[in-house]
Copies of this chain bind each other. A is one copy, B any other.
Amino acid sequence: MYSQMSSGSIRTFGFRTAVAPRSATQEPVGGFPGRGLAESIDIGETVFSEGESAENVYEVIQGVVRLYKLLADGRRQITGFLFPGDLLGFAHGGHYIYAAEAITELRLRRYSRARFERMVDEVPGLAQHILKVTFAELRGAQDQMLLLGRKSAAEKIASFLLNMAERQGNAEEVRLAMGRADIADYLGLTKETVCKTLSELKREGVIAAQSASCIELRDRGQLEELAAGELSHPC
């Protein structure tokens, strides 16, 4: 606990964290015993909304989810993307504190909150396991605060691409499940700035694009320097 974690991943409540290794889309995960009810959600549909009464906890079986918060006038901040194996449904005061929507066709497993809490209370080590991954989520949240508050557009894009690559086994080719608008709302930019910055990186030969959703990382060193804020000319 509070120490190095092994490979594999689970996202409990909005941030990806590394835990025990497991296969990508199969049985219950996260040390989570028992099966929930299967549920299918169409692309673009809402799993739950911010402020809604928090009845359930979900596990992503297949597909990608976006979590976000809104300001009164509609401005949106995406706080995280969820992949198979991740859990969602974090609540405060009995209400979901963010909204969740399907970015792709989605398969979920649903657990009632009562059952989830009973399991956390009764299964030995489960509370501690969830604590561990929650700490890791907090760490991700702090990295994202550094990104949102202090990085330039190019540095944000570089960080994002490396982050996505890492989740895909650091392959040369990164597949983006989300559109430009989602990337923008995740990085605190506009979709136009995301486009322009990607084009700029293409022009410099740092990346190449097979298509809009498939990016090749041609100069990983350059991207890493950008992401770390080491370059005098951050764009």
Q: Identify the A interface with B (CB < 8 A).
A: 1-5, 13-15, 54, 69, 71-73, 75-77, 79, 90-94, 97-98, 113, 117, 120-121, 127-128, 130-131, 134-139, 141-146, 148-151, 185, 187-188, 228-230, 232
Say yes or no: A145-B142 contact (C-beta < 8 A), given A54-B2, A120-B1, A135-B134.
no
Inter-subunit contact B138/A134 (CB<8 Å): yes
- Contact partner of A228 (CB less than 8 A), chosen from B72, B93, B138, is B72
**Pick from B1, B113, B121, B146: contact of A117, CB under 8 Å:** B1
A138 and B71: CB pair below 8 A? no
Given known A3-B91, A138-B137, A138-B141, contact A150–B77 (CB-CB < 8 A) = yes
A185 to B128 CA separation, bound complex (whole angstroms): 33
Give which listed residue, B93, B98, B142, contacts A98 with CB less than 8 A. Answer: B142
- Closest Cβ of chain B to A40, distance in Å, is 25
What residues of chain B lie closer than 8 Å to A141, measured between beta carbons? 138, 141-142, 145
Query: Would you call A14 and B142 a contact (CB within 8 A)?
Result: yes
Contact of A71 among B137, B148, B151 (CB under 8 A): B151
Task: Given A2-B90, A4-B94, A131-B130, check contact A146 B69 (CB 8 Å).
Answer: yes
Which one of B72, B93, B134, B185 contacts A229 once the chains associate, using CB atoms below 8 Å?
B72
Is there contact, CB below 8 Å, between B14 and A150?
Answer: no
26 A-B contacts, Cβ less than 8 Å apart? A1-B121, A2-B92, A2-B94, A3-B91, A4-B94, A13-B135, A69-B142, A69-B143, A69-B145, A69-B146, A71-B150, A71-B151, A75-B229, A77-B145, A90-B138, A90-B139, A92-B135, A92-B136, A98-B142, A121-B128, A138-B138, A141-B141, A145-B148, A148-B148, A149-B187, A150-B188
